[in-house]
Amino acid sequence: MNGVGTLGSETEHRARHVAIIMDGNGRWAKKRGLPRAIGHQRGVEAVRRLVRGLEPMGLECLTLYAFSSENWKRSEDEVDDLMNLMRRFIKSDLPEFVENGVKLKIIGDWRALAPDIVAMLEDALAQTANGHQTLAVALNYGAQDEIARAATQAASEGEITPDAISQRLDTHDLPPLDLLIRTSGEIRLSNFLLWQAAYAEMLFVDTLWPDFKPEHLGQALDDFARRERRYGGR
Ligand code: FPP
């Protein structure tokens, strides 16, 4: 195992699309007697490290759960902190995305966010449209809502079939999900990519999100390459 996710041979299948539930920012901060906001800041740094380390891993798409439709239930201060982090992250890292060929995609009901964030995201989507590695960020995202929207659209346009729904999900233009990782030791999906996870491998790690490094993802990719996937067959 080389821990950088660059292995490849006839018998190994390389992951194309990995998604991560980034959990544990609050606990990371609490363990150190720091405010939750610092945990989220360190969480953004973990995102930045990971995106910078993406190129050699050969992934086509990394999808990150940044803000769920349930996260509005958090305190107003915490929601404000998360939104401000988002603003700062886009502003500071967009030039690097463009330079490194990172193509931004947003999933979820993101157009319901604050108008200035929507405008920043639209600009970021346009500027990164020619990138070759997709960073999909789930914002104001809930899988049940995504599936309901897709099913409603499929029904209005014809028959509701699995294919018709898949083609209308926010992720319709992304590769199939290969691996879903959740950090911080919690073992649940929290309304993330429920449809897309049907045949995905799952990996639950104890690492708190701010401590998650590109090497962790590299190791997960190497392990994935060795797993046998049957898709219900034998
Ligand atoms: C879970 O930690 C994390 C979140 C609710 C938000 C994830 C957001 C970031 C990593 C930063 C923003 C991302 C971008 C792309 C700018 P938690 O607060 O639920 O942790 P806890 O369960 O330990 O309290």
Of 180, 223, 177, the closest CA to residue 5 belongs to: 223
Q: What is the mean pLDDT of the chain?
A: 94
User: Is residue 66 in contact with ligand 1, taking CB distance under 6 Å?
Assistant: yes
Whole-model pTM: value is 0.94
Choose one of 22, 54, 83 to mutate for the ligand 1 pocket test, by most ligand atoms within 8 angstroms of C-beta.
Answer: 22
121 lines ligand 1 (CB under 6 A): no
Token pair 């294919």 is found at: 163
In the residue annotation, 163 being an active-site residue is answered as no
Query: SS3 breakdown of the chain: % helix, strand, coil, rounded to 5?
Result: 45, 15, 35
Region 78-95: mean pLDDT is 97
Annotation says 71 is catalytic: yes
Is residue 8 scored above 50 in pLDDT? no
Q: Average of pLDDT values for 39-45?
A: 98
- Decide whether any atom of ligand 1 lies within 6 Å of the 42 Cβ: no
Q: Say if ligand 1 is within 6 A of residue 170 CB.
A: no
Query: Is the CB of residue 127 less than 8 Å from the CB of residue 158?
Result: no
The residue whose C-alpha atom lies closest to atom 7 belonging to ligand 1 is 66
Segment among 3-12, 17-26, 218-227 with least mean pLDDT: 3-12
Structure tokens given for 28: 């990371």
Distance CA 103, CA 125 (A): 7
Q: Report the pLDDT value the prediction gives residue 229, as an integer from 0 to 100.
A: 66
Locate 190 and state its tokens.
């929290």
Among 63, 69, 25, residue whose Cα is nearest residue 44: 25
Task: State yes or no: pLDDT of 46 exceeds 90.
Answer: yes
pLDDT at 233: 76
pLDDT at 155: 97
- CA-to-CA dists, residue 103 to 10, 106, 108, 183, 218, angstroms: 29, 10, 17, 24, 20
DSSP-derived secondary structure for 202-232: EEE--S-GGG--HHHHHHHHHHHHH----TT
In one-letter notation, the amino acid at residue 83 is M
Q: pLDDT digits over 164-221, tens only?
A: 999 999 999 999 999 999 999 999 999 999 999 999 999 999 999 999 999 999 999 9
Give the whole-angstrom CA distance, residue 94 versus residue 104: 9
User: Residue 144 in 3-state DSSP?
Assistant: helix
Q: Which of 150, 135, 166 is nearest to 65 (CA)?
A: 135
Atom in ligand 1 nearest the alpha carbon of residue 137: 15
> Quick one: pLDDT at residue 230?
67
The Å distance, Cα 165 to ligand 1 centre, comes to 29
Distance of CA 164 to the CA centre of its chain: 23
Is 85 a pocket residue for ligand 1 (Cβ < 6 Å)?
Answer: yes
Closest ligand 1 atom to 90 CA: 16
- CA–CA gap between residue 1 and residue 225 (Å, rounded): 11
pLDDT tens across 50-64, in order?
999 999 999 999 999
Whether 23 is in the pocket of ligand 1, judged by its Cβ within 6 Å, is: yes
Contact 208, 38 (CB under 8 A): no
22 has pLDDT over 90: yes
Report CA(126)–ligand 1 centroid distance (Å).
Answer: 26
CA–centroid distance for 63 within its chain: 2
pLDDT in tens, 100-131: 999 999 999 999 999 999 999 999 999 999 99
Q: Which of 188, 174, 82 is nearest to 134 (CA)?
A: 174
Q: Is the model's pLDDT at 3 over the cut of 50?
A: no
Instruction: Determine which one of 2, 23, 80, 206 is catalytic.
Output: 23
Report how far apart the first and last C-alpha atoms of the chain are (Å, whole number): 27
pLDDT given for residue 232 in this prediction: 74
pLDDT of amino acid 9? 47
pLDDT score for 133 = 97
